[in-house]
Structure 1
Amino acid sequence: MATAESETFVRALARGLRVVEVLGQGAPRQTVAAIAEAAGLPRSVAKRFVMTLTELGYTASDGKHFWLTPKVLTLGLSYLYALPFWRHAQQAVEELSADIKQSCAMSVLDGHDIVYVVRVPTYRILRAGPTLGSRLPAHAVSMGRVLLAAAPPAALDAYLTSAPIRRLTHATVTEPDRLRAAVEAVRTTGVAWVDAELDEAICGLAVPVRDPDGTVVAALNVSLPSGTFSEARARREFLALLRQTAARIRAAM
């Protein structure tokens, strides 16, 4: 893997991508000065990057402010289209959500977070409901537990050592030993239940999605209102359907 000190690391590309990230955060329209400050770049360098992005069609400008254009979506969609399961998964998760009348989603692990690659909401039970591309801390959600359980032991060790395992509610598991035990339990049972650890209003049940070789490539979950569903009830009503949907997605790969 290339690092900032390696010969294969292209600093200009890294800086350009950082400018795109900055434009996707904060104010919708930003000046060169604001972009430079947020990206940690000299103003002259930031200006060259946004002018290049504008020439390529990824940003637009009114002469003072710059903003992202819809062309940026092609970068993210390229990732989704490259996933071997995505086209089949979208329909399968939509049908699952319609069948059980609950919000369902799929995610992958990226660093310390899960990233939503499919999301079918029925009603909003989070104050700021996640959408496609949203990131959530892996330690506090059911899909994160599933994906961490699928990681090699060395990767789990590294996660527990380096991840910012913050307490988000009174129920969040933050102690590394307890979190490891919870992940190991998921590795044994193949199902994760997390209640009120990310948000006191939400709980979730998740299972792995495997490719034809048996490798876990994503997690699939149902999100439920905490206090309404116990783990036993969620397993009874949804576990078989989650596993059936995961198997359907696997068969379509």
Structure 2
Amino acid sequence: MTPIKSPVKTEAGALSPDKEEAGTIQARAKEGMAGLAKGLAIIEAFGANTTRMTVSDAAHLADLSRPAARRCLLTLVDLGYLAHDGKFFTPLPRMLRLGSAYLSTSSLTQIAQPLLASARDRLQESVSLAVLDEGFAVFIARAEAVRIVSTGVKLGGRLPAYCSATGRVLLGGLPEQQMRAHLESVLMKRLTHRTVANLDGVLKAIRRAAEDGYAISDEELEIGMSAMAVPVKNSAGQIEAALSVSVFSGRVNIETLRENFLPTLRETAERLQRSL
């Protein structure tokens, strides 16, 4: 049997070479993971409302020091993820690889895409699939209707769960304590004069969505835009995703959503559930 080595110290009390090497590797691992976390925090700070940023912006949004933010940004430039014009940093197409790693390997998105396209063709409106991620509804699949002005968010887009139809369906799948803890921790803002942005009101909307089997957001995210969402459940009966349609309020009213759109959404969700 090979004897187990115990730590050996030199005369000066320093660790042996084996121990020093192990300590160095461990320190590098910690440093590397910290650096990766900082870089990912900056990447996640980019979005529809932050299409470019300075070093100061990145430091503020990712909660980093300016030197750390600058090193991360320049590293992302060197790797081809960002462009830099001397002041502003902006994402490059290579950034798409990060999201496509999930989208190209997720069976849920692969199964859903043809079903979303079929629902889009029947409704003549954009249809999307989203999952819950840290209090946001994140869109992982979408079939876009061809229009001069598009509706809703794009693939990979995020909406606050508390005031979106998709988010309320997804939050309804959480245990009561976890759902309430999330809502109590998030800063609710009135995005329009119709936004429900108080705890009691949002809880009521989530519970109603769970009871009805669908949720509607009527101009709560943006005036002139409405959405309807239904749950997609896995074989265990748990809500895994939400299927939604977004429309211009002037073209499709709430009653039409309930009468004409809801049956198609439910049918599509059921077909997707049978495939999971």
Q: When the two structures are superposed, what TM-score results if normalisation uses the length of structure 2?
A: 0.75
Shift of 1:209: 0.9
Structure 1 unaligned spans of 5+: 1-6
CA 1:169–1:75 in 2, change beyond 3 Å: closer, same or farther? same
Please, which of 221, 230, 238 is the counterpart of residue 261 of structure 2? 238
- The answer to whether the 8 A contact 2:51-2:90 is kept is no
Greater C-alpha radius of gyration: 2
Displacement of 1:62 in angstroms is 7.7
The 2-side partners of 1:27 and 1:144 are apart by 24
Count of aligned positions: 244
1:78 aligns with 101
Does structure 1 residue 205 correspond to structure 2 residue 241? no
Q: Higher RCO, 1 or 2 (CA under 8 Å, sep at least 6)?
A: 1
Query: Which residue pairs with 2:209 in the alignment?
Result: 186
Q: 1:117 to 1:23 in 2, by over 3 A?
A: closer
Q: Offset at 1:155? A: 1.6
Higher mean C-alpha displacement, 84-93 vs 115-124: 115-124
CA contact (8 A) 1:205 1:222 kept: yes
Whole-angstrom CA distance in 2 between matches of 1:149 and 1:190: 10
Distance across 2 between alignment mates of 1:196 and 1:63: 40
C-alpha displacement of 1:109: 1.5
User: In structure 2, what is the Cα distance between the partners aligned to 1:138 and 1:36?
Assistant: 26
Does residue 109 in structure 1 map to residue 132 in structure 2? yes
**Whole-angstrom CA distance in 2 between matches of 1:163 and 1:125:** 29
Q: Identity of paired residues, percent?
A: 36
TM norm structure 1: 0.81
Q: Which deviates further from its counterpart, 220-229 or 207-216?
A: 220-229
Of the structure 1 ranges 130-139 and 69-78, higher mean CA displacement relative to structure 2 is found in 69-78
CA distance in 2, matches of 1:159, 1:39: 21
Preserved contact between residue 51 and residue 91 of structure 2 (Cα < 8 Å): no
1:172 maps to which residue? Answer: 195
CA contact (8 A) 2:162 2:183 kept: no
Does the C-alpha gap of structure 1 residues 228 and 65 become closer, same or farther in structure 2, counting only changes over 3 Å? closer
Describe the shift of the 1:47–1:146 C-alpha distance in structure 2 as closer, same or farther (beyond 3 A): closer
Return the alpha-carbon distance in structure 1 between the equivalents of residues 201 and 46 of structure 2: 38
CA RMSD of aligned residues (A): 3.0
Q: 1:14 aligns with which of 37, 42, 64?
A: 37
